[in-house]
Amino acid sequence: MARMSADERRESVIRAAITEFARGGYNGTSTEAIAKRVGVSQPYLFRLFKNKRELFLAAALRCLEETPKAFADALERRPDSPPLEAMAAAYMELIGDGDKLLMQMQTYVAVASAEAAGDHEFGERIRAAWAEIWDQGQAAFAGDVNETTDFLGCGMLINVLVALGFPEDHRVWAGLDMSDIRASR
C-alpha cells in the first residue's frame, strides 16, 4: 500500500475532524478521538495543525467553502434554471451529508462561544467565509438583497429542520415548497 503524502494525511485529518467535531462540538471533541479516527498519533496530528483551534477552523472553513463551490457548480450545470432552483437543489444535496450539516451548526456555536468569551479573532475567518456565501447569493440574484436574504434565511430554516430530524411530511415544512428542489435532485 502506498504511503500518504503530508497533504493527503492533512486532508484525511480534516475529514475526520469534520465528523468528530460535528458529533461532539468543539469542547466535547478530543484531538485524541480525531487522531484515532484517522489512524495517526496525537503528536503527528499536532505536526499538521498547531492546536485544536487551528484544526477546528480548518474543518469549519472546509464546510463553509464547499457551499459557494456547490452553488457555482449548480449554476454552471443548470444555466437555464432559475438561480433559486439550482442553488437550492445543490444545497439540499450538500446538507444531505449529516456530518457537514452538524459541523456547520457546531461552527456557529463555537464562534458565538468564543465571542462571548471576548475572543473576536476566532470568528473573523468564519465570518469572511460566510460572507462569500452571501456575496455569491447577491451575484446570483442580481444584487437583490431581499432575494438573497430570503434564500439564505430559508436555508437556515432548512438546516434547523433537518438537524432536528423533522420528517419531510411534517407540518413544519408546510411553508416550504420543496417539490421543485426534490424533482431536480
Per-residue pLDDT tens digits for 107-130: 999 999 999 999 888 899 999 999
pLDDT band at 95 (very low <50, low <70, confident <90, very high): confident
Amino acid at 68: P
Rounded to an integer, what distance in angstroms lies between the CA atom of residue 185 and that of residue 68?
A: 18
Residues 6+ apart with CB under 8 A from 148: 134, 137, 138, 141
**Does position 91 have pLDDT exceeding 60, yes or no?**
yes
Rounded to an integer, what distance in angstroms lies between the CA atom of residue 72 and that of residue 74?
A: 5
**Does position 181 have pLDDT exceeding 80, yes or no?**
no
119 SS3 class: coil
Predicted structure pTM score: 0.87
The model's pLDDT over 96-106, given as tens digits with 9 standing for 90+, comes to: 888 999 999 99
Task: Give the angle 161-162-168 at the CA atoms, nearest 5°.
Answer: 80
Q: Tally the residues of the chain.
A: 185
The model's pLDDT over 31-43, given as tens digits with 9 standing for 90+, comes to: 999 999 999 999 9
The model's pLDDT over 25-72, given as tens digits with 9 standing for 90+, comes to: 999 999 999 999 999 999 999 999 999 999 999 999 999 999 999 999
Which has more pLDDT, 40 or 183?
A: 40
Query: What's the mean pLDDT in 160-164?
Result: 90
Residues 6+ apart with CB under 8 A from 23: 29, 99, 102
Provide the pLDDT for residue 115. Answer: 92
Rounded to an integer, what distance in angstroms lies between the CA atom of residue 2 and that of residue 15?
A: 20
